[in-house]
Amino acid sequence: MKKFTSVHDVPDIQQWLSEAQSLKQSPFAHKHLGENKTLGLVFFNPSLRTRMSTQRAAYNLGMNVMVLNVGQDSWQLEYSQGTVMDGSTQEHVKEAVNVMSQYCDIMGVRSFPGLKNREEDYEEKVMEAFLKHSQVPVISLESATSHPLQGFADLLTVTEHKQITKPKVVLTWAPHPKALPQAVPNAFVEWMQGGGMNLVVTHPEGYELAPHIVKDTPITHNQEEALAGADFVYAKNWSSYQDYGKVLSQDKGWMVTEEKMALTNKARFMHCLPIRRNVIATDAVIDNSLVIKQAENRLWTAQLVLKKMLETL
Ligand code: CP
C-alpha cells in the first residue's frame, strides 16, 4: 500500500473495520512487523489526537517514530517550480521530502488549507508534493480537504454502536467563531457513504459541501427535520465552500442541545475533537457522547493503516 489519503485507497472497507476491531484484542500481535522500521510524522499544523494516536499505533507495531514540526523545527519550504528562492523560503519541497524519505520507511503529513483560494486548496499542493517526491508510502494525517484517519475512526465508532444495519447518521453544521476547513466533514461524508450508512447532511444555506463529495447524499437546511429519528448526530463546523473560506453565519440556533437531541431516536452524539463547549454543543450533550470512543478508535484505525503499509514494504 503506497498511500492512504482517502477512503478510496481502501480495497475493502468492511474487512478493514473488522481487522481494526481485532487489533483491540491483541494490540501487540504484529510487533515484529515494525522492527527496525521508522515512521516520520511531519506536522505543518497543531495536533493532539492525530499525533499521539499515530505515534502510539507505531509503537504497538514495534516501529520507531520521528516527529518534525515544519516551520518550527525545520526550514520554510518552497513549492513552486522555477522560483528564484531569494525570499522567505529556504528549502524546496522536492529535496526536503526526498531527504526525509531516506530516513523513514513510512511518512505521515498534516497540512491545513489556506482557506483563501479554493482551487489551490483542493489541488492539495502539500499532500501531492509529498506523494510525488517521497520514496516511501505516505499517510494523510489531515490534508487541506480531507481527514481520512478521522473518517475511518468515525465509521468504526458508528459500526460498533449501531443497533440496526443501516442507521440514520446526521452530519450537522454547528457555529464556530473562526473559519474552519471542510476536511473533516468531507471525510465523514465519504466514509459514511463507503460504509453504507443512511447519511443526511444539514447546514444553513451557503454551507453546501463540494458536490463531488456529497454526490446524492440528502441535504436539508432544516436541522430539526434532519434530526428527527436520527441514530447518530455528528456535529462539525466548516467554512463556506461556495463563498470560499468565509464565515457566513454564527447562528447559535444551530448549536446541538439536549432539546435538539430529544428529537432523535436516542441518538449518540459525535464530534472529532477538539470541541468548543457550549458553542458547537452543550456540556450535557458532550458529556453523554461518543467523543472519547472516537478518539480511542483513532489509535486502532491508525494502527491498521500502518500495519497494511508495513505488510507491503
Ligand atoms: N481530531 C483530530 O484530528 O484531532 P487533532 O487535531 O488534535 O489531531
What is the DSSP secondary-structure string of 130-194? Answer: HHHH-SS-EEESS-SS--HHHHHHHHHHHHHH-SSSS-EEEEEE---SS---SHHHHHHHHHHHH
Residue 71: predicted pLDDT: 73
Residue from 55, 140, 237, 298 whose mutation best tests the ligand 1 pocket (most atoms within 8 A of CB): 298
Is the CB of residue 47 below 6 angstroms from any atom belonging to ligand 1? Answer: yes
Do 295 and 258 contact (CB within 8 A), yes or no? no
Closest-lying ligand 1 atom to the alpha carbon of residue 48: 7
Express each pLDDT in 76-88 by its tens digit: 999 999 999 999 9
Closest-lying ligand 1 atom to the alpha carbon of residue 273: 1
Asked whether the CA dihedral 241, 247, 253, 256 is positive or negative, the reply is positive
Beta bridge partners of 43: 69, 110
Distance CA 142, CA 5 (A): 8
Domains (range + CATH), the chain: 3-147+298-310 (3.40.50.1370), 150-295 (3.40.50.1370)
Stretches in the chain below the pLDDT threshold 70: none
Closest-lying ligand 1 atom to the alpha carbon of residue 53: 8
Cell numbers standing for residue 65:
517514530
Residue 297: predicted pLDDT: 98
Phi first, then psi: give them for residue 170, nearest 5 degrees: -110, 120
Task: List, in order, residues 6 or more apart from 290 with CB less than 8 Å away.
Answer: 157, 161, 268, 269, 270
Residue from 272, 292, 297 whose mutation best tests the ligand 1 pocket (most atoms within 8 A of CB): 272
pTM for this structure?
0.98
Phi first, then psi: give them for residue 236, nearest 5 degrees: -160, 140
Please name the residue whose Cα sits nearest to atom 4 of ligand 1. 49
